[in-house]
A and B are shown apart, each in its own frame.
Chain A
Amino acid sequence: MARKKKSSSSKTTPRVKTVVDRREAPEQVGNIPVRKVETEIEHPFYFYPDADAYTHEELGLDVDRVLEMYRNMLLQRRFEERARQMYMKGKIAGFLHLYIGQEAVSTGSIFAIREDDYVITAYRDHGQALARGMSARAGMAELFGKITGCSKGKGGSMHFFDVEHNFLGGHAIVGGHIPLGVGVAFACKYKKTDRVCLTFFGDGAINQGAFHEAANLAGLYKLPAMLICENNEYGMGTPVSLASAEPNLYKRAVSYRMPGVLVNGMDVFTVYKAVSDMLPLVRQGQPVLMEVRTYRYQGHSMSDPATYRTKEELEAKKHEDPVLRMKSYILRHDLAESVFLEQMDKDVREEVMDAVRFADESPEPPPEELYTDVYVQEDYPFLNWKIPTPRKQ
């Protein structure tokens, strides 16, 4: 049974724990700081440090929605397991960065926003894309470099795009997309809508100047931007403690006049709760910096054996697996029977296998695609024409 906490069902008043006397506040439990609030700053910090802290009823989620969220996490997991295998088989080239272990972050946050809100992320982008509604077929075909892929085979793993679902990429220069996300939020405000943009990035990106510049602009112009730092503990192979002078990344919010939010990213409900709580603020033009502590079970990319961490660390983290945690929650609360979940898993695996077959059978981009989508202008006079077909002039 989940440890239930008193929870407000209102989404407009985030529950905040405050402790004024710092001497009474423990610094951290495990690796997650708790119960410490700077009282002299503009905005408080908001802490969501616990897993198994909220029930779906408390969050206003019905059983169908819970099962939909679980299925989405499962889809991300199975999609990437199969992608990993297809990479080993040589079906997928280039860089492949897996999201396995972080699914609670994508599902928990994206299921909390509206369909007309925007999502933009970095190169570890399969999870967010699938959470946003991209089909497994479009994703897998992109990995296979096929014309049927979400970016017509021109982007690959690191550059998934699905504008129809307001998924704006897929960006692979670390930190370079954070100003883009803030610009999308700028447009939401400029057009006088109440839409928001979630900008995901990693703990490595937060040390780029682009983060600082973008966060400053978001705070300065009061933009509806939710900056979500997925702290998976390592920037490639370098732990946060060796990369950030202040390893409590949420604290940087103070510099930009934003609330800083610390979230346990291994429980989809905790992430959902934190994002839902913050959304009304963000929609009103108060940007938020959220540090979500998560863990990637695979190496940085397929070429990384992850020798910089111990087996014990990895094993310990696997006990927190967000997919298994949610499955166990569903069973514990009798939201579905075990056989139902097994069938769901089978269906998801089949959906992914169907995507693999679809990708495999899809045609590669024809030669003329080399020159399309560079410019909107259709008759752009390219130099050094490389294909036999005549130019469009």
Chain B
Amino acid sequence: MAVMQFREAIRAAMVEEMERDENIFLMGEEVGRYNGAYKVSQGMLERFGPERVIDTPISEGGFAGLGLGAAMVGLRPIIEFMTWNFSFVAFDQLVSNAAKIRYMSGGQIKLPIVFRGPNGHAGQLAATHSNSVESLYSNVPGLKVIAPSNPDDAKGLLKAAIRDDDPVLFLESELMYNMTGEVSDEEDYVLPIGKARLAREGEDVTIVAHSKSYWLAMEAAEELSRQGYEAEVIDPRTIRPLDYDAIIASVKKTNRLVIVDESNPMASISSEAAYLIQEKAFDYLDAPILRINSADTPAPYAKSLMDLWPPRVDEIIEACKKVMYV
């Protein structure tokens, strides 16, 4: 095992895959000469040259579509959005083209493409720069959506995403890029898409949380443990398809479920997961499913308000106690 930053794990996945397959290229704003807006692609221009590490103008709709066109005829693009907030000006490319061309062509075309970049809030950036896009894009059949919580999963799942023949949206986190963690140094480290990770075992309550919410869940679980309750924590890692079997298995064991999801609450990952668990595991539930989301408002700027806005550890602890009736 090697200790790596989250950003280094992502870079390692891209570099290894690009060494392996020359049809893979990286394209996005500031990925080359600037070495990446968040230094994820540092050194890659030097390593692969300007034909494979390609700086773009500020033109998300254009270069997202360009990547898709290239994928239609056999290339395997990695398209970086500086943040997923900016993917909204490429929404048509993702929703109308990435997700639907294979279906509408009767399976004649495949789109082996990865769109990646940081997702979710990152401090006091205010409303336009704090979107969590996973529920928006997971609503669209034809896409796959991955949101890892640690460097090891990031590397293994990004390699899987790059090798996948379907379009994959890979959600990172600006606040996690500096995070370090052990990463497998297995030569060809590829994790399966669509499989959750049982991160912490417990008997009393199940907490499902992805991306940086996972770390809030773990913090809450440690505090609960100090208080005498053992939470089971599941990191879905992949949002679409969601590993319902893993959640159901855990709920059958703990009979209580809290979902932490940075999306806004309406039509979110938490509402979807809660729906399916009540359908599939209703008889195993001893309490209503509770969820912690960001507030049902745009993200604020002021610190006093932003302290309230995203999911918080104290909220998670409170929700767990509520479903445990303690």
Q: Which residues of A contact B (CB under 8 A)?
A: 118, 120, 149-155, 159, 161-163, 168-171, 173, 176-188, 190-191, 197, 209-210, 213-214, 216-217, 220-221, 372-377, 380-383
Q: Which residues of B contact A (CB under 8 A)?
A: 25, 51, 54, 56-57, 59, 61-75, 89, 92-93, 96-97, 101-110, 141-142, 144, 164-166, 194, 241, 244, 276
Whether A176 and B65, one on each chain, are in contact in the complex, defined by CB atoms closer than 8 angstroms, is: yes
Whether B108 and A161, one on each chain, are in contact in the complex, defined by CB atoms closer than 8 angstroms, is: yes
Which of A168, A209, A376 has a CB less than 8 Å from the CB of B165? Answer: A376
Q: Which of chain B's residues have a CB closer than 8 A to the CB of A214?
A: 62, 65-66
Whether B59 and A217, one on each chain, are in contact in the complex, defined by CB atoms closer than 8 angstroms, is: yes
Whether B109 and A161, one on each chain, are in contact in the complex, defined by CB atoms closer than 8 angstroms, is: yes
Docked Cα-Cα span, A163 to B165, in Å, equals 17
- With A163-B108, A176-B96, A184-B69 given, is the CB distance from A381 to B241 under 8 Å? yes
Whether A210 and B92, one on each chain, are in contact in the complex, defined by CB atoms closer than 8 angstroms, is: yes
Whether B241 and A183, one on each chain, are in contact in the complex, defined by CB atoms closer than 8 angstroms, is: no
- With A179-B93, A210-B62, A217-B63 given, is the CB distance from A186 to B106 under 8 Å? no
Whether B69 and A179, one on each chain, are in contact in the complex, defined by CB atoms closer than 8 angstroms, is: yes
Which of B64, B72, B75, B110 has a CB less than 8 Å from the CB of A376? Answer: B110
- With A186-B70, A374-B141, A377-B164 given, is the CB distance from A169 to B63 under 8 Å? no
A-B interface, 9 closest residue pairs, ranked by CB to CB distance from nearest: A183-B69, A179-B65, A213-B62, A152-B106, A373-B107, A161-B105, A180-B69, A376-B165, A183-B66
Whether A376 and B194, one on each chain, are in contact in the complex, defined by CB atoms closer than 8 angstroms, is: no
In the complex, 18 of the A-B residue pairs with CB atoms within 8 angstroms, ordered by the A residue number, are: A153-B106, A154-B103, A154-B104, A155-B105, A163-B108, A170-B104, A171-B97, A176-B96, A179-B61, A179-B64, A183-B72, A184-B70, A186-B70, A209-B61, A373-B102, A374-B103, A376-B165, A377-B165
Q: Which of chain B's residues have a CB closer than 8 A to the CB of A210?
A: 61-62, 65, 92
Q: Across the interface, name the chain B residue whose C-beta is closest to A382.
A: B141
Whether A187 and B74, one on each chain, are in contact in the complex, defined by CB atoms closer than 8 angstroms, is: yes
- With A173-B92, A210-B62, A376-B110 given, is the CB distance from A217 to B56 under 8 Å? yes
Docked Cα-Cα span, A184 to B67, in Å, equals 9
Q: Which of chain A's residues have a CB closer than 8 A to the CB of B141?
A: 374, 382
- With A182-B69, A184-B72, A210-B61 given, is the CB distance from A161 to B106 under 8 Å? yes
| Shortest distance between the CB of B325 and any CB in chain A (Å) | 31
Q: Which of chain A's residues have a CB closer than 8 A to the CB of B56?
A: 217
Whether A149 and B68, one on each chain, are in contact in the complex, defined by CB atoms closer than 8 angstroms, is: no
> Which among A169, A186, A383 has the greatest number of chain B C-beta atoms within 10 A?
A186
- With A183-B67, A183-B70 given, is the CB distance from A177 to B97 under 8 Å? yes
Whether A161 and B92, one on each chain, are in contact in the complex, defined by CB atoms closer than 8 angstroms, is: no
Q: Which of chain B's residues have a CB closer than 8 A to the CB of A161?
A: 104-106, 108-109
> Which among A120, A173, A190 has the greatest number of chain B C-beta atoms within 10 A?
A190
Docked Cα-Cα span, A153 to B66, in Å, equals 27
Q: Across the interface, name the chain B residue whose C-beta is closest to A163.
A: B108
Whether B65 and A187, one on each chain, are in contact in the complex, defined by CB atoms closer than 8 angstroms, is: no
| Shortest distance between the CB of B185 and any CB in chain A (Å) | 28
Q: Across the interface, name the chain B residue whose C-beta is closest to A383.
A: B276
Q: A153-B106, A187-B75, A373-B107 are in contact. List 12 more A-B contacts (CB 8 A).
A: A149-B106, A154-B103, A168-B109, A176-B93, A177-B65, A182-B69, A183-B70, A187-B69, A209-B89, A214-B66, A217-B57, A375-B144
Q: Which of chain B's residues have a CB closer than 8 A to the CB of A377?
A: 164-166
Whether B70 and A187, one on each chain, are in contact in the complex, defined by CB atoms closer than 8 angstroms, is: yes
Docked Cα-Cα span, A151 to B141, in Å, equals 18
Q: Which of chain A's residues have a CB closer than 8 A to the CB of B75?
A: 186-187, 190-191
Docked Cα-Cα span, A381 to B276, in Å, equals 13
| Shortest distance between the CB of A143 and any CB in chain B (Å) | 14
Whether B104 and A176, one on each chain, are in contact in the complex, defined by CB atoms closer than 8 angstroms, is: no
Whether B59 and A216, one on each chain, are in contact in the complex, defined by CB atoms closer than 8 angstroms, is: yes
Q: Which of chain A's residues have a CB closer than 8 A to the CB of B74?
A: 187, 191
